[in-house]
Amino acid sequence: MPRLKTFAFSDGLYDHLIATSSRPKALAAWGAHQDLFKSGLAREVDEPAQVKAATAKPDTPLRRKSGGKGGWSPE
């Protein structure tokens, strides 16, 4: 199984999170039409709570209200 990385971005309304093997896979899962990493909107994260939430559901885009402290839910 490939090593999973955790990626995140915010669209202002929601924070988005995913654990997947690559940036292109994250962009595809989010349905992005531009490279959010190149523009600086998306990044790899290593915060333990985010990594735990994302790796519990690999390759599944998760979201919560922007700046929220609650749990993550599937998009």
Domain boundaries, the chain: 5-64
The answer to whether residue 25 scores a pLDDT higher than 80 is yes
Query: Regarding predicted confidence, which is higher, 68 or 5?
Result: 5
Cβ contact 5:59 at 8 Å: no
Q: Is 31 left (phi over 0), alpha (psi -120 to 50) or beta?
A: left
pLDDT tens readout for residues 46-66 = 999 999 999 999 999 999 999
The answer to whether residue 70 scores a pLDDT higher than 70 is yes
Handedness of CA 13, 63, 23, 34 (dihedral sign): negative
Give this prediction's pTM. 0.93
